[in-house]
Structure 1
Amino acid sequence: MIKAENLRKKVSIGGGELEILKGITLEIKGGDSVAIVGASGSGKSTLLGLLAGLDQPSAGSVVVDGQDLGALDEDGRARFRARSVGFVFQAFQLLPGLTALENVMLPLELRGQSDARQQAEHFLERVGLAPRMQHYPRQMSGGEQQRVAIARAFAARPAILFADEPTGNLDTATGAKVIELLFGLNAEENTTLVLVTHDEKLAARCEQRITLDAGAIVEAA
């Protein structure tokens, strides 16, 4: 499902170069749940962005769902993400001028789905937000906003869901509910789940754990 070979990422800084990722090689099977863990600055979010096609590596290759991301231009990668990938971010990334329902419907409408409203309503009900569909993000708690983001991600029925610190802005009790929701939908939809997290409870629920340190994999179990 996801295969990275000798993945490297360098950025220019202060007249020199900083190597963020140093030859990452990994494989994630379809339907698996994987936690990417490590200290701040270890390269976790950079790796997630490369695996998701949000950024390009300085060297190496990424193949996702049979597609070599390096063979696609920017528009091609955007089309691939719209078709195969879902995202959940720590900061929720909801549009403040749209209701919960509209936030979930929007990516479906952009794909031309005629059943966008039906799918959005179904997944908002699934995450327990049926009474809140017409509310705006500012009228919702952090946990509710994250549940909208999860509904939006799963409504497109992606082959892969990438989540960057999905419980990072939530209190412990709310984070635990979000974890249950993520893994419940993961099992129901058979979605490959790739998470960056500092949350040990979240990491422990995953079938595979990849630990980064200074841009390199130091443990994979």
Structure 2
Amino acid sequence: MASVGVTANKPVVKAVALCGSLRKASFNRGLIRAAMEICKEESGIEIEYLEVEPLPMLNTDLETPDGGFPPVVEAFRHKILHSDCILFASPEYNYSLAAPLKNAIDWASRPPNVFAGKAAAIMSAGGGFGGGLAQFHLRQVGVFLDLHFVNKPEVHVHAFQPPLKFNQDGDLIHQQTYHQLKQLLLSLTNLSLRLQSNSN
């Protein structure tokens, strides 16, 4: 597991954020941008956003005989390996998580699984259950990945129901959801620090 950084004698948890939507103005990307804004106010956690779009579709023929990966995949896996925790923004497609996110997860879980032992949190925005079913499936996948998920709060935003949650650029403008994100990041930070402490 990555080592937690320290800023002004206060531990800083390093998170990477993955989004299952490729649209630039997607609501789920908007949740990540809002989370990164919160991190500017809170010194306990830092978030680096990792693009999943450049990753090729999973094909083990792309792996080298010695277990290596294409450079873009190696770089992606390296970032996850050296993070403390994962923040997922998962839209819901057909009652499940989106293909780009699943593809990224599958590359990162190729041996050695770079997710193993890390804390994770999920947020989602959309219609219906606000991404709730995708979150459920992602948690199931996380069992095999050996991820430790934050249980509360649950952040699944009903994006198409009033009041308005996002502007036309996909930016979060709903203060109650913003507050929920703050609580989610606090829970993720605390869980990550607890796992780090238990592993020492």
Same fold (TM over 0.5): no
TM-score (norm 1): 0.32
Q: Return the structure number with greater relative CO, CA threshold 8 A, min gap 6.
A: 1
TM-score (norm 2): 0.35
